[in-house]
Every structure is written in structure tokens, then in C-alpha cells.
Amino acid sequence: MAEKFDVDAPTLPRFVMKNTKDAELVILMNSLATSFKLIASAVGRAGVAQLYGLAGEVNSTGDDQKKLDVMSNDMMINALVNSGVCSILVSEENEDPIIVPVDKAGKFCVAFDPLDGSSNIDCNVSVGTIFSVYEKKSTLGNVNDLLRSGEDCICAGYCCYSSACELVFTFNGGTVEGFCLDPTIGEFVHTRFNMKFPVDGGKRIYSCNEGNFIHWDQPIKDAVEEFKNGVGGKPYSARYVGSMVADIHRTLLYGGIYIYPADKKSPQGKLRCLYEGIPMALIIEQAGGIASTGYFEGKIGRVAELKPTAIHCKCPIIMGGPRDVGVVYNCYKKAGIETPSI
């Protein structure tokens, strides 16, 4: 019997308790996991349940909301508000922060994109959820508790909905771990341990929206041309899904580089700092990669060092292994721009 069934499943709650001894953090991660299961179910039944198409509204950043955007957002808000451990929530789908009633409030502040890449949902392409967690400093919890750099973020992660439902997260200063939803028991089970970028840089893949090429600064254009024409005599392959979770997940597992820089059209970048840039930066860095802003506001810096100025502010992103981010840095050096050492 034991050969067919795992009688000692390494589940998500067990991992969190073992590594943090924080019961409230276990409750938080359980609540997040519940919302991920609900979203995975909705995504999987989207066609049958007629969940494709627009909901007829726009979100906080002016994007058209899909029906699944609205459902996913409600699922996450309901799970987190009723967890008893959150005080303030920020969602891409809500213009204003969500203040948890005092009788249900706790010590955590959570920012999230409930369904990243939802523009792809109607054509059945991978989508995901991204989140970052902070611990409040104020007594009741307010928006300033979230407007802090990634160095204050205590936990960050994403959940990818595809052929499997996979959760990847890290605690600040810890390792990057992966959990896969086992539908037979309804639990996330530990399947990827201490995830790291491939030591040799991995596959030669560059990932970016080349439709923005004419708007990029010259060093970014030069770097992409180097990838296309061959670094060390070997051209890179282009892979761009358009769902950040899918593109980052592939980059983390296979190697390569993901580029979404600031440009003439979007001088502040396009991705949201609090619930896209910072959480992905923590994961990338703690897996041995580099999460850079590229040339932004007069210098090249780390995404994790950015301090959000507003809950929906944006930032540029260049993320990947040292081998490939080094190609971008070399192009900046040739342009006379001071670059960090790798």
C-alpha cells in the first residue's frame, strides 16, 4: 500500500512551519494556497464555464479586465481578508488599497497580481499569480507598510497555472522552493528544492517584446542584437510568452534572460514594482541570478532596492543569470555608463 501512496507527503504548511516556526505565516500561506487552488480550478474550467472574454471594466492601471481577472481577484481578497492575519491588501485590480476590518486584522500586508498574463487566457496560454508579503510597522496597518523596498519584503512568490499548478516562493534571505499541486490530495507538495540558475548559464534564450525595439535605449538594442547574432559564436533563441510568470519560470529553470526595460514610450518601465518587479527580483536573486533595473533614473541598480512611490507605480526589469545579464552590462559599459560588478 505504501508503495502506491505517499504516507508522509512534504506539504506546504509543513515546510513553512519547519522553516519559520511562525503559525501566522503558516495561516497566510495556507490562505494564499487556497486562493491558488480556486484560481487553478477556474482557469481549468474557463472554456466550459464560459469565463473567457472581458468583464466590461478596467483595472487600476487602465487595462481591460477579463472575467477571470475579476473572479481571481475576488478569490484572493476573500481568502486573505478572512485569514485573520492580514491588515492591508493591494491588488492590481483595485485602484485603492483594501483595509481589512479591525476584528479580522493581523500583522501581514500583501500585494498581488491575481492573474498575470490574463490577456492570454482566451487562447489558453499559461497565466499566473504573483505576490509579495510585508510585515506591518504601524499599529493598525496602512499603505506605507507596503511602500518599502524589496529588502523589507519577508516573502515573495508566484503560482503558475499550466499543465501543472506550480507554486514557487522564497523567504527573504532563504532558498527558492517549488511546490506542485497534487489534485489527488488537494495539497501543494514540495517538488523542487533549493532552485538555482544553471551554473553554466543554461540555455541560450532571450525573452523580450521586440515590438518595442524602436523605443529602447541603444545599449539594450545592442545587447539584443548580440543575442540574436551570437554571443561566443552561438545565437540565442527567442522565447516570449507575454505572461511574466511563464517567462520568468522558464528563465529560472532553463537559464537565459528576461528583458522589459524602460524606454521612450514607458520611461518608468511597464511592470508594477510592488507586485511584479520586487517579488520576482527576490526570487531571481536568491536563486543566484541578477535582477537589474537597467539604466533607470540616472543609474543601473537592483530592482530589490527600489522603494515604490505609489502602490501601482512601475519599474523596468532585466532578469537572468550572470552570463546573460553580463552581456547587457557590457553594452552599457561600451556606452560609457557605469555598471555594477557581477
Q: Which residues are catalytic?
A: 63, 69, 92-93, 113, 115-116, 276
Residues 6+ apart with CB under 8 A from 157: 130, 131, 167, 168, 169, 170, 279, 283
Could you tell me if 220 and 328 are in contact, meaning their C-beta atoms sit under 8 angstroms apart?
yes
Could you tell me if 271 and 193 are in contact, meaning their C-beta atoms sit under 8 angstroms apart?
no
The three cell numbers locating residue 140:
493598525
CA dist 272 and 97 (Å) reads: 15
CA dist 142 and 99 (Å) reads: 8
30, burial (CB in 10 Å: exposed 0-12, middle 13-18, buried 19+): middle
CA dist 229 and 161 (Å) reads: 33
Residues 6+ apart with CB under 8 A from 187: 9, 11, 12, 181
Tell me the DSSP string of 164-207.
Answer: SEEEEEEETTS-EEEEEEETTTTEEEEEE-S----TT-BS-EEE
